[in-house]
Chains A and B, each alone.
Chain A
Amino acid sequence: MDLELIITSFPKLLSATIVTLKLLSASLLFGLFLGLFFAILRLNKNKLISGFAYGYSYVFRGTPLLVQIFIIYFGLGQIEYLRSTFLWVVLKEPYWCAIIAFSLNTGAYTSEILRSAFETIKPGIIEAGKSLGLNEKFIFTKIQIPIAIKQSLPAYGNEIILMLKGTSLASTVTLLDITGVAKFIISTTFRPIEVFIVAGSIYLFITFLVHNLIKYLEKKYRYQ
């Protein structure tokens, strides 16, 4: 055990934590919107629309995240047409490619979580809203969404932790997040155990924080 390496690698990995957290928060934010959008599409009566949303979530949940990143980062750059549009400004940056891939991936899982949350809302609650003469938009935003958020908190907490682990794949497209820096230190010092301990502890600490945040929110939003 090389204690000195543990001490010297800690600040390097800590500054890489910022990259990881940036990737995580950006993808969760975009993913939440995507998830909500596709969850609403899933509940649509039109078979074509709900089928499209189902196909999206099926494809992104059925393939590894690594494939998704590689298609977006290596694959899309191959299309000549894309290179001439403004999209290329975004797609040539590995940072944005990673965020796009993560957002699409977490969006698929989030849409499933939200869909099942919407489906568990008792029809009586919506009917009560209707009989009170509330309009549909009001019922959706003020009744259905808050209940769905409450219902989906535990599952969404798991999804945040899965996504945190998912951000480690950003290191495969040259980004220096925690795992990227850890790999760099390992391959220059050949001391995997020490680096694993430091990097692993940082990840576990973030997991711990997320876990407690969700627990706190669950308590806060419990039915009185």
Chain B
Amino acid sequence: MEILSFGDKGWGDELFIATLMTIAVAITAMIIGFLFALIFTPLKLSQNKFLNLISNTYTTIIRGVPELLVIYLFFFGGSGAIMFVARIFGYNDYIEINAFLTGAFSIGIISGAYSTEVFRGAIQSIDKGQFEACNVLGLKKYIYFFKVIMPQMLRLAIPNLSNVWQITLKDTSLISVTGLVEIMRQSYIAAGSTRDPLLFYSVAAVLYLMLTYLSMKLINKLEQNYSRGY
């Protein structure tokens, strides 16, 4: 058990920090995903065929292609794209982009595709009468969306969003291929230097289980909060 203790002799503190890193990447990715969903959900619901096509292309490609491939695209392609832009402005040195940002961005794009589908489904299942009533009452667009549609949408979306969160949390393990030190990468390092992969990967599994369990508990509380009155 000494091997898992905190301090110089054990890997406890390293694994603890790595767990915080996993949480940080997952939350950042989820937020980036929401931003993507915020752009693509309206496109999906719009009457314009062309806008629909853009949004459908995004969700279809991202949901049909392995996460690892998307991560490789951004990992290998990200710094290339930025250097290309920098060269136009006359900057010729090598630029390395942050592993955290690359990781959170690529997982965020993936999580955004799932969130978009969730929000689309939630908005579509709100009774049409609600939209019509808002128009009849002449509510301002702002109030209409934030006070009428949003609360109803969230109630329907939260159970599915909790699935998206679980997927996002588990997907963060894939960022370890880019070298960001989260749970998986730290276990890999520890397993390599102690020659005890069974122990460290089992610890990683337990840490992920803990994270999924705790987040489920939290989300259930949130769900109760939003479904009051029903």
Contacts and interface: CB of A to CB of B under 8 A. Distances in A.
A70 B183 CA distance: 13
Contacts, number: 116
Interface stretch (A123-131, A133-141, A186-194): A186-194
A62 B69 contact: no
B60 A67 contact: no
Contact of A71 (B63, B69, B201): B201
Q: How large is the interface on A (under 10, 10 to 19, 20 to 34, 35 or more residues)?
A: 35 or more
Contacts of B6: none
Contacts of A68: 205
Contacts of B61: 200, 204
A196 B68 contact: no
Nearest to A58: B209
Contacts of A78: 195-198
Contact of B64 (A169, A182, A204): A204
A71 to B, nearest CB: 4
6 contacts: A67-B205, A70-B184, A161-B64, A167-B66, A190-B76, A203-B64
Interface of A: 58-59, 62-68, 70-71, 74-76, 78-79, 161, 164-169, 171-172, 179, 182-183, 186-187, 190, 192-193, 196, 199-200, 203-204, 207-208
Given A63-B209, A186-B72, A208-B64, 19 more contacts: A62-B166, A62-B213, A64-B171, A66-B176, A70-B188, A71-B205, A74-B191, A75-B198, A161-B63, A167-B66, A168-B68, A182-B69, A199-B65, A200-B61, A200-B64, A203-B69, A204-B60, A204-B61, A207-B64
Interface of B: 60-61, 63-69, 72-73, 75-77, 80, 166, 170-174, 176-177, 184, 187-188, 191, 195-198, 201-202, 204-205, 208-209, 212-213
